[in-house]
Amino acid sequence: MEYLLQKGSLSIRRAVRSDAPAIADLIMGLAIYEHMPECCHATVPMLEESIFDRGEAKVLIAEYDGEPAGFSLYFYNYSTWLAKKGLYLEDLFVKPEMRGKGIGKSLLQTLARIAVEEDCGRFEWSCLDWNEPSIRFYKSMGAVPMEDWTMYRVTGDALTKLAGQE
């Protein structure tokens, strides 16, 4: 197992296929934290296929005393203005009972190191506007909100309609 970080009781490593059940549990923990568990449809087979078979995303697992304590899921996007790929953090979650141990900060620092090592032009993510603890945390790490930008999403029936396949 290749560890990207080992610091006391904390270790961070790249996820492997056998981590899919733990990843699914952590994703559900995030959905519960965000008050939307009914929107979470990820299953272990779906994660195995999309992450480990097709490589659509990458996952880092944070372990504390050898047990899964948190995760980050990321993928690459592209900046036309920089003509470089960027690292996009889709989700970062630390179990409530594991917070305050530096796990979230270590996950972000590890992702930043990956972005620098891979010559990414940006490291970006989104945060729910009601999530004040995370907003304070991100700002303390040097992140700045993109206040001139609004994210748009098309999903479900609207996506099918836009694709002209209604």
Q: CB under 8 Å to 11, separation ≥6 — which residues?
A: 3, 5, 62, 63
Biggest CA–CA distance in the chain, Å, is: 55
Helix (H, G, I), strand (E, B) or coil at 138: helix
Give the rounded distance of the alpha carbon of 44 from its chain centre.
17
Question: What distance in Å separates the CA atoms of residue 166 and residue 158, rounded to the nearest whole number?
Answer: 9
At position 124, the amino acid (one-letter code) is E
Q: Write down the catalytic residue from 64, 74, 88, 138.
A: 138
Element (H, E) at 87: strand 84-94
Q: Is 3 a catalytic residue?
A: no
For the annotated catalytic residues, the residue numbers are 138
